[in-house]
Amino acid sequence: MIRIPIIIIAFYLSILNVFSQKSDTTIYQSRRLKIEEVNFVSSYYRQDGNNAAVTGGVGSEELTDFATTLDIRLSKIDRKSRINSYNFEIGIDTYTSASSDKVDPSTISSASSGDQRIYPSLAWSRLNDSKGMTIGANVSVSSEYDYLSIGGGVNAFKDSRDKSRQVGVRIQTYQDFVTMIYPIELRSGRTGGKESRNTYSTTFSYSQIINTRLQVLFLLDVAYQNGFLSLPFNRVYFSDTSVDIENLPGNRVKIPLSMRVNYFAGDIFIIRGFYRYYTDDWGLKSNTAEIETAIKITPFVSVSPFYRYYSQSGIRYFAGYQQHLRSESYYTSDYDLSTFDSHFVGSGIRLVAPNGVLGIAKFNTIEIRYGHYSRETGLVSNIVSLHAKFR
Amino acid sequence: MKNKMIAVAFFSLFVLAGCKPVKEYQKMYLNDSEMELSMRKGQKFENNFQLYREGSAGANGGKTGGGCGCN
């Protein structure tokens, strides 16, 4: 009689054992470095205008640029459960510039007439999720025929406990070297060599979730530049018909302040807004306003028409062809620094396929964008970009 | 300048005053890839040419200085 209950109890305990929670005796093993995502971005840009700085504010600004970047993001969780991310990027630009041919028209082969720029960079960040803290650092190099730029920076971000807001700071520097290539007729008596140009900037950021559909980001940059801030092959023609290379002050302080607002309206519209105010001590002030509306045609396909308005007041050292006085200390005829409004309009189409674009499992996203830019000075340009993401 | 800064400050306060706590499970819309508070990857080169063709830069996730921009 007593054997039956013992068998029943043993059976009952064995069932309990199957469903009971096992004690965690496993030792944590650090995960191996894995590829999070790969991004390929390529664009073709073409512009034309009639205010080239190389020829003193007159002449063709025709330029084409074919640019491509490839970046790979890797991650690894360390023994303290912190996520370390590594981002390696390499970019190559190939461009031709009609105005730069005019540095030395006899050779049609001078600074930047047709050149390549190569720019590798490496960034690291470490997210400590339990503390809501991210720290990071980056280094970069950009090299072309007449210009070398070496960059480096550190950054830190702190999330609030409920992850509804984040504050951050970035400190960045670029140490640049300009090869002194002068216009052909202004080379006698000048030595070549290199001049330095240094940039130091600090960015403060604050992002905030307002509600389930709205979030904002504020950015404030304070940047200081010193060194040779002119370009040695930009001509300036004075009112007395004499000519010299442009001469700009050796220091510049820039303060841009911006706000980004994203709002998910209904189930298919996402409104992305951006506004920036900029001021610097050369007298340039600008306002930038941009709006983009992503329309979700399906949960995975969206079309994004956009419009950007930009307005700037020129620097106090700008004047056009033969308008500068020889008595002035600083002068340039670079229309990029003149007073103008500009408009940039276009659209993008984006496909996000959880099962892969064209049946390729890792091919997650493809986006194509086209934009048309027109500047009050007469410069017009067009750009088409392709972004492919693999993850 | 002063008026613009005051307007931006008031707008910011107005927006931030409406903040509501949002739980992780309520972030369906906020986690959509279109809602990222940064430039799109595909905007990278648009930002580059604007940096060259305009006198101002920064506060948009791109560079504030450095590089040639000589074309």
- Distance (Å, rounded) from C-alpha A25 to C-alpha A217? 44
Q: Which two tokens stand for residue A96?
A: 């031709």
DSSP A217-253: EEEEEEEEEEE--S-TT-EEEBTTS-EEE-B--SEEE
**Long-range contacts, stretch A266-272, CB < 8 angstroms, 24+ apart:** A267/A296, A268/A295, A268/A296, A268/A297, A269/A293, A269/A294, A269/A295, A269/A296, A270/A294, A270/A296, A270/A302, A270/B32, A270/B34, A270/B35, A272/B34
- The pLDDT > 90 percentage for chain A reads 77
Question: Do the chains contact at A262 and B35, CB–CB below 8 Å?
Answer: yes
Q: Which phi and psi (to 5°) does residue A81 adopt?
A: 65, 25
| Nearest residue of A to residue B18, measured between CA atoms | A210
Which positions ≥6 away from A178 have C-beta within 8 Å?
A146, A147, A194, A195, A196, A197, A228, A231, A232, B68
Which H/E stretch holds residue A151? strand A147-159
Question: Do the chains contact at A286 and B19, CB–CB below 8 Å?
Answer: no
Section A181-204 average pLDDT: 91
Question: Do the chains contact at A95 and B71, CB–CB below 8 Å?
Answer: yes
Q: Which two tokens stand for residue A349?
A: 């189409």
Question: Do the chains contact at B46 and A385, CB–CB below 8 Å?
Answer: yes
Which of the pair, A271 or A105, is modelled with greater confidence? A271
- The pLDDT > 70 percentage for chain A reads 90
DSSP structure class, residue A298: E
Which positions ≥6 away from B2 have C-beta within 8 Å?
none
Chain A residue numbers touching B40 (CB-CB < 8 A) = 348, 367, 369, 387
pLDDT for position A221:
96
| Lowest-confidence segment of A102-106, A213-217, A368-372 by average pLDDT | A102-106
Question: Of A228, A227, A225, A232, whose CA–CA distance to A255 is shortest?
Answer: A225
**A309-368 per-position pLDDT tens digit:** 999 999 999 999 999 999 999 999 999 999 999 999 999 999 998 888 888 889 999 999
Q: Between residues 19 and 48 of chain B, which touch chain A (CB distance below 8 Å)?
A: 19-22, 24, 26-30, 32-38, 40-46, 48
B68 at interface of A, judged by CB pairs closer than 8 A: yes
Question: Residue B2: exposed, middle, or buried by beta-carbon count in 10 A (0-12, 13-18, 19+)?
Answer: exposed
| Nearest residue of A to residue B67, measured between CA atoms | A149
Beta partners for residue A136, in sequence order:
A125, A155
Which of the pair, B71 or A68, is modelled with greater confidence? A68
pLDDT for position A31:
72
B65 at interface of A, judged by CB pairs closer than 8 A: yes
Residue type, A367: E
Mean of all residue pLDDT scores within chain B: 80
Residue B63 in this model has a pLDDT that exceeds 90: no
pLDDT for position A53:
93
Chain B residue numbers touching A286 (CB-CB < 8 A) = 54-56
pLDDT for position A106:
60
Residue A18 in this model has a pLDDT that exceeds 80: no
Question: Do the chains contact at B68 and A144, CB–CB below 8 Å?
Answer: yes
- Distance (Å, rounded) from C-alpha A225 to C-alpha A177? 13
Residue A210 in this model has a pLDDT that exceeds 90: yes
What is the ipTM for the molecules in this complex? 0.85
Question: Do the chains contact at A67 and B48, CB–CB below 8 Å?
Answer: yes
**B9-35 per-position pLDDT tens digit:** 766 666 666 777 888 899 999 999 899
Q: Which two tokens stand for residue B53?
A: 């063709």
CA B29, B32, B34, B35 torsion: positive or negative? positive
Report if pTM > 0.90. no
Section A17-46 average pLDDT: 73
pLDDT for position B8:
65
pLDDT for position A111:
44
Residue B70 in this model has a pLDDT that exceeds 80: no
Q: What is the number of CB-based contacts under 8 A between chain A and chain B?
A: 222
Tokens 């993850």 belong to which residue? A391
Mean of all residue pLDDT scores within chain A: 90
- Distance (Å, rounded) from C-alpha A360 to C-alpha A193? 51
pLDDT for position B71:
40
Is the Cβ–Cβ distance between A255 and A202 less than 8 Å? no
**Res. A56 pLDDT band, cuts 50 70 90:** very high
**Res. A22 pLDDT band, cuts 50 70 90:** very low
